[in-house]
Amino acid sequence: MEQSEYVLQVKGLKVSVETAAGILPLVEDVHFNLKPGHVLGLVGGSGSGKTVTSLALLQMLERQTSVIEGSIRLHNRELNGLPEKEMRGLRGSQLALIMQNPMTAFSPVYTIGVQMIEAIRTHSKLGKKEAREEAIRSMAGVNLPDPAALLGKYPFELSGGMLQRVMLALTMCLKPSVIIADEPTTALDVTNQLQVLRQLDRMRQEHGTAILLISHDLGVIAELADEVAVMQQGRIVEQAGCYEIFDHPRHEYTRELLAARPTLQLSPQPGSRL
């Protein structure tokens, strides 16, 4: 496959951090590619390096104490070492992050509307009125009740499931090429897990968005991923198609994760993988 057919290419990614005891490696020699509409599940236990990998891709690690080596290419543009001002222009509009705890994604002192409208206007040429209308349309699209009223609410006035859907709505407004979803369903009940996964699947289908879905839960990964990479102690120890990983795991750690996984039974919808 030609390089240009990949929206995101990660090659030889290494992350280390300076400590009082010396240099501590966190991620070692990680490789993967994402093409439009492709979902890669990155799975592993706590401390395996999943979140560090995602922050490295976004260039959000502390630059004074951490060292990122290797290549991170978005649309053939090298991100590793890109100046912070240029990265700010890419975050959200081209490379978006959906966090595990949606409360940490919003400032508690501004309303949902202020924050959504500002983000939309930052990454588009829309005026304030048009950005507000776009926010309302997008929130309605993720089944949030009375979105116009929700714009006037503060983050603490919404439940975790609603905030997660607000994050999805904002992401859908910006239509990024790649979404990094870091444990997006961990803090949610089963009903809200289903809604979040369906909205991610919708973005993949409607906009060709590539998704890096990070989770410790193989049951969630199985619902959406085309391919799965299993991470242990900062390294990818096995990577294969979703069905192959589940039916014929090769690495002992993968087999341990499969044996320990909880099951999430989701009802399929016509025209959707979920």
Res 1: pLDDT: 42
The yes-or-no verdict on residue 27 having pLDDT over 90 is yes
Q: In the 8-state DSSP scheme, what is residue 91?
A: B
Residue range 38-79, pLDDT digits in tens: 999 999 988 899 999 999 999 999 888 999 999 999 999 999
Model confidence at 210, pLDDT cuts 50, 70, 90, reads very high
- 161 occurs within a structural domain: no
Q: How many CB atoms are located within 10 Å of the residue 250 CB?
A: 12
The yes-or-no verdict on residue 90 having pLDDT over 60 is yes
| Domain carrying residue 28 | 1-92+223-266
Tokens representing 242 are 């979703």
Q: Say if pTM beats, i.e. exceeds, 0.85.
A: yes
Q: Are the C-beta atoms of residues 63 and 6 closer than 8 Å to each other? A: no
Please enumerate in sequence order all residues whose Cβ is within 8 A of that of 239, keeping only pairs 6 or more positions apart, or say none.
32, 227, 228, 229, 230
- 113 occurs within a structural domain: no
Q: Estimate the crossing angle of helix 112-122 against helix 160-174, to 10 degrees.
A: 20
- 15 occurs within a structural domain: yes
Q: 180 by DSSP, 3-state: which? A: strand
Q: What is the mean pLDDT of residues 105-128?
A: 92
- 74 occurs within a structural domain: yes
Q: What is the mean pLDDT of residues 172-194?
A: 85
Rounded to whole angstroms, how far apart are CA atoms 168 and 211? 13
Q: How many CB atoms are located within 10 Å of the residue 131 CB?
A: 21
Of 34-43, 246-255, 265-274, least confident by mean pLDDT is 265-274
Portion of the chain with pLDDT greater than 90, in percent: 58
The yes-or-no verdict on residue 144 having pLDDT over 70 is yes
* CATH number of the CATH domain containing 78: 3.40.50.300
Residue (of 269, 185, 253, 182) closest to 219 by Cα position: 185
The yes-or-no verdict on residue 273 having pLDDT over 80 is no
Tell me the CA distances in angstroms from 24 to 14, 15, 52, 66, 70, one per residue in order: 11, 9, 13, 9, 17
Res 142: pLDDT: 84
Res 267: pLDDT: 54
- 112 occurs within a structural domain: no
* More confident position, 184 or 241: 241
- 54 occurs within a structural domain: yes
- 85 occurs within a structural domain: yes
Rounded to whole angstroms, how far apart are CA atoms 27 and 22? 16
